[in-house]
């Protein structure tokens, strides 16, 4: 058993804290937001993630995890402290490191000999060195400590599984002994461990996310071409994916990526490249394609409805979160598209199994309804924005009957075009073969 402190109880922090506790460690989860800490003490989770509440409750009962807003209390017995605070995008796309800096200064005020500080947040290359400098400047009497980079690779909606069965663990440090200790901390996960230097570890995280975002933008670019040539992007991506050099994952064409990671990480990597005098044209293309997909989707909806003026048209949105199994609305494509539709005069209704409370804060002009069937009533068109499994099992005959006109734009390609046509829908997916074309 090791004594661990995790600073930040946002998405990465609470998952990290709960999972390390479940591995048998003594964990203190620390956050300066006293409301979040109070909520956790009452069993209220700061985020929605499948299985998280059960995991936290189990470890609270076992006395392996506790919550505090005090650095003195959190670091009292800590051997390792993970910094897992937010690093949002700044004005020019750079990562905003104010919360990392504040955490480093507070850690310095309560640091003990031999403490290992681990950056879990996604931070620009060079941040580990910078954190060490902050600690020394804040507390010249800090003594021996080490800074290690151990980036997270968690997917929202499957984060607990990703933590417990990772593809790899990346550990970066200039202190070999500290790197070895952090590697040993992760041994129960039985995953490959990549040990490298600080800056390389930081770069691995950015390069990984940028590559995955590139795959998504690539297949969306192919989908655009499929639209014009009459090919089916679903079959194209399936055929490509059998090549082991390419793989099946992240080749789902649609309305693009969103969330808290890919958008800000690609921006931040492009910013770092530009600051170094490089011209990251591929990264800019990835971002441009992703942004264009949202606008193109709205243009396709307008085309299905007969023109740019949507005054009086009622559009229903199936799904609002940027992906299923989360309530995260950060950079969700639905927000951009809903606002464009509202600007064009449409009335927009929406349903999401989890995210409507968060979405209502961002989309006050959108009517949030209690079920997909209520939403479909009187609609001129439905849009699929999030591929929730329950949407695949809807009674589509009932949906068809309740709509004013049975038009459906499938932004996630969850339905079969032939079946939708048989049910009487005018259907359009993303890059789906004979979309809008007459079959010869």
The residues that are catalytic are 261
27/8 Cα distance (integer angstroms): 13
To 5 degrees, how large is the angle CA 29–CA 32–CA 35?
90
| Residues counted in the chain | 440
Contact status, residue 27 vs residue 52, Cβ threshold 8 Å: no
Phi (first) and psi of residue 368, to 5 degrees: -90, 125
Strands (E), 274-365: 314-318, 347-351
25/48 Cα distance (integer angstroms): 24
265/59 Cα distance (integer angstroms): 32
Give the number of C-alpha atoms closer than 13 A to the C-alpha of residue 203, restricted to the C-beta side: 9
Give the number of C-alpha atoms closer than 13 A to the C-alpha of residue 69, restricted to the C-beta side: 10
Strand partners, 81: 5, 117
Long-range contacts of 165-168 (CB under 8 A, 24+ apart): 165/189, 165/191, 166/191, 167/191, 167/192, 168/192, 168/193, 168/194
350/373 Cα distance (integer angstroms): 11
DSSP code per residue over 94-151: -B--HHHHHHHHHHHHT--TT-EEEE-S---TTHHHHHHHHHHHH-TT--S-EEEE--
Note the helical H segments in 23-110. 34-41, 52-61, 71-75, 98-109
For strand 347-351 and strand 193-196, is the pairing parallel, antiparallel, or unpaired? Answer: unpaired
Inter-axis angle of helices 198-229 and 127-138, nearest 10 = 140
């Amino acid at each position: 058993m090791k004594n661990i402190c995790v600073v930040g109880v946002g998405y990465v922090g609470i998952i990290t804290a709960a999972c390390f506790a479940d591995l048998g460690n003594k964990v203190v989860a620390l956050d300066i937001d006293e409301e979040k800490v109070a909520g956790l003490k009452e069993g209220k989770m700061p985020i929605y993630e499948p299985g998280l509440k059960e995991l936290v409750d189990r470890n609270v009962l076992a006395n392996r995890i506790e919550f505090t807003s005090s650095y003195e209390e959190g670091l009292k017995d800590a051997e390792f402290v993970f910094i897992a605070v937010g690093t949002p995008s700044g004005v020019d796309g750079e990562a905003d490191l104010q919360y990392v800096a504040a955490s480093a200064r507070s850690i310095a005020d309560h640091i003990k000999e031999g403490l290992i500080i681990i950056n879990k947040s996604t931070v620009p290359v060079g941040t580990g060195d910078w954190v060490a400098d902050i600690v020394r400047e804040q507390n010249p009497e800090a003594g021996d400590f080490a800074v290690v980079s151990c980036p997270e690779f968690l997917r929202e909606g499957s984060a607990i599984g990703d933590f417990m069965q990772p593809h790899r663990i990346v550990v970066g440090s200039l202190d070999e002994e500290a790197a070895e200790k952090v590697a040993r901390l992760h041994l129960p996960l039985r995953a490959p461990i990549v040990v490298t230097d600080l800056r390389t570890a930081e770069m691995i995280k950015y390069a990984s996310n940028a590559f995955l975002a590139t795959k998504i933008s690539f297949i969306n670019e192919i989908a655009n071409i499929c639209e014009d040539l009459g090919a089916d992007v679903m079959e194209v991506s399936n055929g490509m994916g059998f090549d082991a050099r390419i793989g099946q994952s992240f080749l789902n064409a649609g309305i693009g990526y969103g969330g808290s990671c890919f958008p800000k990480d690609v921006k931040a990597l492009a910013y770092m490249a530009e600051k170094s005098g490089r011209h990251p044209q591929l990264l800019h293309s990835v971002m441009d394609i992703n942004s264009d997909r949202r606008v193109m989707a709205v243009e396709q909806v307008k085309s299905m409805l007969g023109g740019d003026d949507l005054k009086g048209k009622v559009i229903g949105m199936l799904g609002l979160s940027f992906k299923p199994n989360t309530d995260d609305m950060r950079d969700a494509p639905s927000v951009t598209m809903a606002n464009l539709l509202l600007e064009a005069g449409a009335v927009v209704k929406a349903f999401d199994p989890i995210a409507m409370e968060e979405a209502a804060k961002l989309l006050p002009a959108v009517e949030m309804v209690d079920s997909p069937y209520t939403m479909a009533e009187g609609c001129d068109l439905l849009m699929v924005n999030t591929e929730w499994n329950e949407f695949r099992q809807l009674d589509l005959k009932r949906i068809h009957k309740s709509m004013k006109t049975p038009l459906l734009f499938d932004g996630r390609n969850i339905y079969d075009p032939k079946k939708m046509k048989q049910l009487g829908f005018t259907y359009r997916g993303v890059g789906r073969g004979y979309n809008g074309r007459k079959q010869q």
